Amino acid sequence: MSGADKEIESFSEAEAHAEIDRLHELLSEADRLYFENDAPDISDAAYDAMKRRYLALEIAFPQHKRADSLSEKVAGAPVDGFAKVRHEVPMLSLAKAFTDQDVIDFAERGKRFFERDKDLDLVFTAEPKIDGLSASLRYEDGVLVRGATRGDGAVGEDITANLRTIKDIPHTLKGKGWPKVIEIRGEVYMTMAEFEALKARSAAVGGQEYVNPRNTAAGSLRQKDPAITASRNLRFFAYAWGYASQEPAPTQFDAVQKFGEWGFAISPLMVRAKSVDELVAQYKKIEELRSSLGYDIDGVVYKIDSLELQRRWGFSSGEPRWAVAHKFPAEQAFTTVRAIDIQVGRTGTLAPVARLSPVGVGGVVVENVTLHNEDYIKGIDSNGLPIRGDEPIDVRIGDTVVIQRAGDVIPQIVRVVLEKRPAEAVAYEFPHVCPVCGSPATRELNEKTGKEDSRRRCTGELICAAQAVEQLKHFVSRGAMDIEGLGTENIELLFSSGLVRTAADIFTLRDRRTEVQAAFAARREEQSRLREEASGKARKATRSVEERSFEGLDKLFAAIDARREPELDRFIFALGIRHIGETTAAALARTFSTIVELRKTGLEAAAAGGDVHEVFPSVNGLGDTIWEALRDFFENERNVAVLDSLLRQVTPKPYVVTISANSQVAGKTVVFTGTLEKMTRGEAKAMAERLGAKVAGSVSKNTDILVAGPGAGSKLKTASELGILVLDEDGWLDLVKQ
Ligand code: IVH
C-alpha cells in the first residue's frame, strides 16, 4: 500500500515523516500555482482532502511537524479564486473631509448646487464610518442569494458562504415591505474583543500574527472554508444599498431604519442633522465615544438625507457628491531613517523611499515611507516654500522623524526632530543618473509655467530595464489587460530571462513553450534550493510536480489567449501613455472608436508637431496635457514599433456606446448655452451625464442637441446653421422626462 492511501493510525514514524514531507510539497506547489499563477491544478476537494490528511498527521506525529509547517501559514491565509461578481450598481468610495472647514465647504457646495430651490433646507445624516470592508448582499423575494466583496468597486468576489456565517446578516428578511430585489450594503468588521481573543488563541499555539482587526476581518472573509470565517465571529452594519427594484424609503435615514426592521444591525449612532453645527456636534460626540465602542471607526460619514436630492446632485469621479467622510485625526509615531533608496517607476520617475526602523502606527507596522521627490527631501514644495515648519528642513539618513498614518491613507513624514539629528548626518544627494540603467535623469521644464517638474526622470525609456519591466507589469495589470496568472513575479522572471521584452512578446510565449518551461523550472529549483538551505533538508523533485506545472503553463497560455481581443479602453490604458489613466482611456475610446483611428490621428499629430488643436478633436474632459502626451507617444518611433507589433498579436474591439434602455439622450452630445432657469449649469450637466449623454463646451458638427436658454448667442447661430436640434429648457426636460 502506498503512503498516499494508508490509514494514518498504521503509520510508522518514518512513514509519517515521509508522508508529511510528500504532502507538504504537493500542497506548497498547489498554493504556489493558486497564488502566483491563479491557476489551481487540483480540485478544491482534492486540496482539502490532502490538507486534512496533512493536519491529521501533524497531530498524530507532532515530533515530525516541520519547522515550516503549512498549518501555521495557510490556516489564516486568504485564498484566491472566488468567482467574480459584477456589481449591478458600482460600489463607490467617499470624498474625505479633514477639517471643520472641509465640512462647511461640503454644505456650501450643496447650497450652491440647489440654489434655484429657494426654500430648500438641506438635511443630512451623520453616522460612524466603520473601519472594516464593505460587502453587498443581494436579496431576491427576501432571501439572501448572493454576497460579494467590493473588489475594485465594479467587480467583486462571490463570498456568499462566508457572509452567511455573520449573525448580523439575515438569511431571509424579516417584517414586510422589502422590495422584490434589493442589494443591501454595509461594513463587515471585527470587534476588538474578538480580535484580542483570536490573537491570544493564535499565540497559544505559536500561530500567525494578526496585524489589526480590519486586516483580520478581510482575511477571515476570504477563507475557502466558511467554518473558519464562522469561527471569527465577524459583525456587519447595514448603511446603504445598491440595486433596488423599489426605493426602500424616500430618505437615507428612513431607509436604514427599515434595514433594522428587516433584521440587520444598524448603527445606533446615526442621526439627522440640519446644519453644519449639528453635523460637527455629532462628529464630536462620536469621537468621544470612539474608544468605548468596542470596534474601530475612522470618522463620521455625512450624507444628504433626501434620496431625490442625492440623485439630483449625482456623482463625480467615482464618488457621490452628496456624501463625505469626516475623518478623525491621524495617529503619529517616532522612528529613524535607516536609508534612502531610489525606485524607478513605469514612466521613469525616480521615486525616493525612506527605509525606517519598523514602528507601529495607526494599527500597522510601517517600515517604508515615500519621500516623493528631491524637493520634498530638501523640505520645500514646488514653489520653493518650506513644507515642514517655517524653515526648509531636509530629511537625512540617521534622522529621527515623526510619521503619521490615518486609516487607509499612506504614511507620511510630518516632522524631522532636529534636536536628535546625529552630528555626522549629511544632506542627501539626489542622483542625477538613473540607478538602474545609468541614463541621465533630468527634471523637465514645464513650458507653460516655466517651472521645473518636481520629479527627476530617467531618460532611458525602454532601454531602462526598470521602466520596461514596470511598463509590462502595468500592461498585464487588473485595470489594463488583466491577464490572470501573469503577476509581478512572473513578469520579472520572463523579463530577466529575456523571454518578454515588450508587451507583444507576451502573446508569442506559447510558441516558446520549452524556454518558458525552463525558466519556470529554474526558478522552482532556485526556490527549493533556498528552502533546503533554510530547513537543512534535502528535497526530491517528483514527476507529478513536473507534470502539474505543465498544466499550469497551459492555463497561463489560455489566459493570454483570452485577452487577444481586449476592450479598446483597457487596451489604450494598458499602453501606459503618460497622463492617460483609466478614465481618460475610456474617453479616448469613445472619441476614436477604434485603435486604427486613434493610431492614425496620433501619427498625424506627431507629423504635424506643435499645435495639437490642429489635429485632435475638441472633446470635453480631454485637455492639452492629454493630447500632448498622445502626440509625444506617437513621435517616438520605438513606441509606434511596439504598438504595431502588439497589434499583430491582438485586435482591440471597436468601442460601442451602450445606450441605456430608457434614456433618449444616451450617447448623444449635448451643449448647454444661455441662462437656465430651472437648474444650475452644473446640475444640467450632471443630469445629462447621468443619462449617458456627453456634454460639450462648444457646438460642432458632432453636437446632437443644443439646449438654449435666454441670452444664447453664437452657439445658437452655429447650431441653426448646422441643422442641429435646438431645445429650450422645458423642451430638454420634456425629452428626458424629469
Ligand atoms: S456609505 C455611496 N457609510 O467607507 C456611498 N460607507 O470610503 C457608499 N464605510 O467603501 C458608502 N462606514 O466601506 C458609507 N457608514 C458608512 C460607512 C462607509 C464605512 C466605508 C465603505 C466605503 C468606504 C468609502
Check which CATH number belongs to the domain holding 266 and give it: 3.30.470.30
Give the CA distances from residue 108 to residues 122, 251, 284, 310, 350, in Å, rounded to whole numbers and listed in that order. 10, 21, 21, 15, 40
Query: Going by C-beta distance under 8 Å and a sequence separation of 6 or more, which residues neighbour residue 250?
Result: 306, 307, 308
Q: Which triple of cell numbers denotes residue 498?
A: 529575456
In a domain, 99, yes or no: yes
- Ligand 1 mean position to 93 CA, how many Å? 7
Using an 8 Å Cβ cutoff, are 114 and 122 in contact?
A: yes
What is the C-alpha to C-alpha distance for residues 430 and 377, in angstroms, rounded to an integer? 9
> Is the Cβ atom of 93 under 6 angstroms away from ligand 1?
yes
Q: 521 and 589, same structural domain? A: no
pLDDT in tens, 278-289: 999 999 999 989
Could you tell me if 308 and 342 lie in one domain?
no
Last residue of a domain, one of 293, 327, 361: 327
**Same domain (yes/no): 486, 594:** no
Domain identity same for 493 and 619 = no
Protein residue whose Cα sits closest to atom 17 of ligand 1: 129
Name the nearest CA neighbour of 50 among 2, 17, 12, 4: 4
Q: Is 605 in the pocket of ligand 1 (CB under 6 A)?
A: no
Indicate whether 553 and 577 sit together in one domain: no
Output the pLDDT for position 677. 79
| Residue 444 included in any domain | no
Model confidence pLDDT, tens digit, residues 523-567: 888 888 877 776 665 545 444 444 455 568 899 999 999 999 999
Using a 6 Å cutoff on CB, does residue 238 contact ligand 1?
no
The reply to whether 174 and 32 lie within a common domain is no
Mean pLDDT of 200-211: 72
What CATH number has the domain bearing residue 480? 1.10.150
Q: Is the pLDDT of residue 80 over 80?
A: no
Identify the pLDDT of residue 74: 37
| Band of residue 118 on the pLDDT scale cut at 50, 70, 90 | confident
Q: Assess contact for 645 and 504: CB atoms under 8 A.
A: yes
- Please report the pLDDT score of residue 188 as a whole number: 98
Q: Is 134 in the pocket of ligand 1 (CB under 6 A)?
A: yes
pLDDT tens column, 446-468:
776 777 888 899 999 878 999 99
What pLDDT does 550 receive? 59
Q: Which atom, in ligand 1's list, is nearest to the CA of 320?
A: 2
Q: What is the CATH number of the domain that holds 595?
A: 1.10.150.20
* Mean pLDDT along residues 137-142: 97
DSSP secondary structure string for all residues of 463-495: GSHHHHHHHHHHHHSTTTT--TT--HHHHHHHH
Single out the residue of 265, 273, 85, 67 nearest to residue 184, CA to CA. 265
Q: Which of 579, 608, 599, 612 is nearest to 640 (CA)?
A: 599
pLDDT band of residue 679 (cuts 50, 70, 90) is confident
Cα–ligand 1 centroid distance for 187 (angstroms):
7
pLDDT band at 433 (very low <50, low <70, confident <90, very high): very high
CA distance 228 to 570: 37
Q: Is the CB of 187 under 6 A from ligand 1?
A: yes
Report residue 246's pLDDT band, with 50, 70 and 90 as the boundaries: very high
Cell 428612513, residue located: 254
Q: Is there an atom of ligand 1 within 6 Å of 127 CB?
A: yes
Structure confidence at residue 547 (pLDDT): 47
Ligand 1 pocket test, candidate residues 92, 124, 131, 239, most atoms within 8 A of CB: 239
Exposed, middle or buried: residue 470 (CB in 10 Å: 0-12, 13-18, 19+)? buried
What's the pLDDT score for residue 157?
93
The CATH number covering residue 367 comes to 2.40.50.140
Q: Are residues 191 and 95 in the same domain?
A: yes
Q: Please state, in angstroms and rounded to a whole number, the distance separating the CA atoms of residues 207 and 198.
A: 10
Residue 272 pLDDT greater than 60, yes or no? yes
Amino acid at 264: F
pLDDT score for 409 = 59
Q: Where are the beta strands (DSSP E) in 203-313?
A: 235-244, 271-273, 297-304
68 and 93 in a single domain? The answer is no
CA-to-CA dists, residue 564 to 568, 570, 646, angstroms: 11, 12, 10
Residue 602 lies in a domain: yes
Of ligand 1's atoms, which has the minimum distance to the CA of residue 319?
2
Give residue 396's identity as a one-letter amino acid code. Answer: R
**pLDDT 10s digits, 146-185:** 999 998 888 899 999 999 999 999 999 999 999 999 999 9
Pocket test for ligand 1, best of 127, 130, 271, 327 (most atoms within 8 A of CB): 130
Reported in sequence order, the residue ranges of 350-495 that DSSP labels E, i.e. its strands, are: 350-361, 364-370, 400-405, 412-416, 441-445, 452-458
Residue 301 Cβ < 6 Å to ligand 1 = yes
Q: Which percentage of the chain shows pLDDT scores above 90? A: 54
Residue nearest to atom 2 of ligand 1 (CA): 92
Q: What's the 127 CA to ligand 1 centre distance in angstroms?
A: 10
DSSP per-residue letters across 277-296: HHHHHHHHHHHHHGGGSSS-
Looking at residue 46, its pLDDT comes to 73
pLDDT value at 38 more than 70? no
Mean model confidence pLDDT for the chain: 87
| CATH number of the domain that residue 673 is part of | 3.40.50.10190
- Residue 261, pLDDT above cutoff 90: yes
Ligand 1 nearest atom to the CA of residue 323, by list position: 5
Ligand 1 atom closest to the Cα of residue 150 is 10
The alpha carbon of 325 and the centre of ligand 1 are apart by a number of angstroms equal to: 8
Within a domain: 425:
no
Q: Candidates 89, 94, 183, 311: which one to mutate for ligand 1, based on the most atoms within 8 Å of Cβ? A: 94
Kindly state whether residue 597 falls inside one of the protein's structural domains. Answer: yes
Q: Is the pLDDT of residue 580 over 70?
A: yes
Question: How far, in whole angstroms, is CA 451 from its chain's centroid?
Answer: 32
Strands (E), 121-163: 124-130, 133-140, 143-149, 155-157
Asked if 558 and 521 touch (Cβ cutoff 8 Å), the reply is no
Decide which of 311, 327, 343 is a domain's last residue: 327
User: How many C-beta neighbours within 10 Å does residue 227 have?
Assistant: 10
Domain span including residue 549: 463-561
710 or 683: which leads in pLDDT: 710
Residue 119 lies in a domain: yes
Q: Which has more confidence, 419 or 152? A: 419
For ligand 1, is residue 673 a contact (CB within 6 Å)?
no
Chain center to CA of 206: 33
Q: Residues 291, 394: one domain?
A: no
Of 57-71, 91-105, 474-488, the one with minimum mean pLDDT is 57-71
- Over residues 622-651, the mean pLDDT reads 92
At 20 the pLDDT is: 87
Cβ 323 vs Cβ 305: under 8 Å: no
- For residue 163, the CA-to-ligand 1 centroid distance in Å is 18
- The pLDDT of 47-51, averaged and rounded, is 76
* Count of beta carbons in the 10 Å neighbourhood of residue 160: 18
Grid cell, residue 298, equals 475612522
547 plus 589 within the same structural domain = no
Torsion-angle region of 205 (φ positive above 0: left; ψ -120 to 50: alpha; else: beta): alpha
| pLDDT score, position 703 | 93
Share of the chain residues as helix, strand and coil, in percent rounded to the nearest 5: 40, 20, 40
* Most confident option among 174-188, 584-598, 719-733: 174-188
pLDDT at 660 > cutoff 60: no
- In the three-class reduction of DSSP (H, G, I as helix; E, B as strand; rest coil), residue 304 is classed as strand
Checking DSSP bridges between strand 694-696 and strand 669-673, what pairing results, if any? parallel
Give a yes or no: residue 497 inside a domain: yes
- 44 band by pLDDT with thresholds 50, 70 and 90: low
Task: Name the residue with the closest Cα to ligand 1, atom 16.
Answer: 129
147 and 225 part of one domain: yes
Catalytic residues: 129
> What is the tens place of the pLDDT at every residue in 298-347?
999 999 999 999 999 999 877 999 999 999 987 788 999 999 999 999 98
Q: Is pLDDT at 35 greater than 60 in this prediction? A: no
635, 724: one domain: no
Element (H, E) at 737: none
Q: What are the two backbone dihedrals, phi and then psi, of residue 295, each rounded to the nearest 5 degrees?
A: -145, 160
From 647, 680, 710, the end of a domain falls on 647
Q: What is the mean pLDDT of residues 353-378?
A: 88
How many Cα atoms occupy the beta-carbon half-sphere of 283 within 13 Å? 23
User: What local confidence, expressed as pLDDT, does residue 541 receive?
Assistant: 47
Is 552 inside any structural domain?
A: yes
In this prediction, residues 61-78 reach a mean pLDDT of: 62
Residue closest by Cα to atom 23 of ligand 1: 93
Question: From residue 288, how far is each of 128, 189, 282, 293 by CA, in Å?
Answer: 12, 20, 10, 10
Per-range mean pLDDT, top range of 57-66, 269-278, 404-413, 710-719: 269-278
Q: How many angstroms is it from 640 CA to the middle of ligand 1?
A: 43
Looking at residue 77, its pLDDT comes to 41
Q: Is the CB–ligand 1 distance for residue 239 below 6 Å?
A: yes
34: cell is: 493558486
How many domains is the chain partitioned into structurally?
A: 5
